[in-house]
Amino acid sequence: MNAYASLADITFTENGYIDVAQLNALYRLIGWDSHHRRTEAETTEMLRVSHYYSAAHTAEGTLVGFARVCGDPYVVQVLDVITHPAYRRRGIATQCMRGVLAHLQRSSYVSVTLTDGSGIAGFYHRFGFRVGIDVAQRWERETETIRNDADSERESASDKSPRY
């Protein structure tokens, strides 16, 4: 299928309105939120703090593609390059990434990173991303551990209070 013909019924927007319920549904559909942890309020905040995002909608208004850039004025990460499974291989992710690249070129970031666990490294190579050889160790921490540590800190603080 010709990429241009396959995109004829898709509209791309930058930093525009996104129905967060549709975005959360898209995350669940692709398996990124199988536990339904994303709330509309948190996703709204995620969009607010993102430097840039591109969204793809059908003529009927269904969200079928998304990508975003998040970080600070110096260091950013390309995140959430996703496409609805029924709309894959039509060039939607490519078009979203073109928007991301245009944003990166307009900006003066010192470092741009991207983490991919999907096994489509060739897709990102097409946009100039390369696997880092001397990458620092990536440290992860479960959110439950963070909550438990916060509880421990409160308990420790109360242990240090004077006892009469």
Q: Which long-range contacts (CB under 8 A, 24 or more apart) does 100-109 make?
A: 100/52, 100/54, 100/67, 100/68, 100/69, 100/127, 101/127, 101/128, 103/14, 103/51, 103/52, 103/69, 104/69, 104/76, 107/51, 107/76, 109/71, 109/73, 109/74, 109/75, 109/76
> What pLDDT does residue 150 have?
56
Specify the pTM.
0.79
Identify the residue with better confidence: 75 or 117. Answer: 75
Please indicate whether residue 62 or residue 7 has the higher confidence score (pLDDT): 62
Contact 65, 93 (CB under 8 A): yes
> What average pLDDT does the segment 137-152 reach?
61
pLDDT for residue 116:
76
What mean pLDDT do residues 60-66 have?
97
Give the contacts of 128 (CB within 8 A, at least 6 positions apart): 101
Q: What is the average pLDDT across 102-107?
A: 95
**Distance between CA 98 and CA 23 in Å, rounded?**
20
The rounded mean pLDDT for the chain is 84
Residue pair 93/83 in contact (Cβ under 8 Å)? The answer is: yes
Percentage of residues of the chain with pLDDT beyond 70? 77
pLDDT at 3: 47
Please give the helix or strand (H or E) that residue 99 lies within, else none: helix 92-106
Give the pLDDT of residue 1.
Answer: 43
pLDDT of residue 159: 54
**Does the pLDDT value for residue 154 go beyond 50?**
yes
| C-alpha–C-alpha distance, residues 46 and 103, integer Å | 18
Average pLDDT over residues 95-117: 92
Model confidence at 156, pLDDT cuts 50, 70, 90, reads: low
Residue 148: count other Cβ atoms within 10 Å of its Cβ: 11
46-61 pLDDT, tens digit per residue, is 999 999 999 999 999 9
